[in-house]
Structures are given as C-alpha cells and as structure tokens.
Amino acid sequence: MRRFYVRPECDSGYGEGDGTSYANAWNGFWSVDWSALRGAPAALWICGESLVMVQIEWSFLKENEREARPDPRRESPLAV
C-alpha cells in the first residue's frame, strides 16, 4: 500500500512538500494532493502530536465528483 503524509501547517513547509514521506509531508490539509491518492490503495498518515492513519478508498467516491455516495458503508445485511 502506498503511504502519504500530512503534517500541521507551518510557514516553512516540509522538505519537497509532496507527501511521499514524513520529511516531505504535505503542509496542512489544504496542500494535500488528493489526486495523488487515486488508483492503487493508499494510506494517508496524519501527523501531529499523535499519529493517525486514514486509509483512502476511492471506490467509495464517484469517479467524476468528489461527493460521497448515498450509502458508502459495506456492512453485512445479516444481524450480528
């Protein structure tokens, strides 16, 4: 799985700022290149005082619109 990183926004940015590593993380959410996450499965590591990993699945999004489908959950229809 491909990994990308975003860190809190700062004036100096982070390395290349292309999200490919912690050292080159995107500078805040406004700088995330969402199109880079398309295609193969990708994980977005959200870095700050604590670390959170978000797996991005483009299959839940409409291809031509970045709008969530009405029912994006994949839950079993069987009662648990």
Residue range 9-49, pLDDT digits in tens: 999 999 999 999 999 999 998 999 988 888 778 888 888 87
Coil vs helix vs strand at 39: coil
Check whether 74 has a pLDDT greater than 50: yes
Residue 64: exposure state from Cβ atoms within 10 A (0-12, 13-18, ≥19):
exposed
pTM of the model: 0.66
Check whether 3 has a pLDDT greater than 80: yes
Q: What is the pLDDT of residue 37?
A: 84
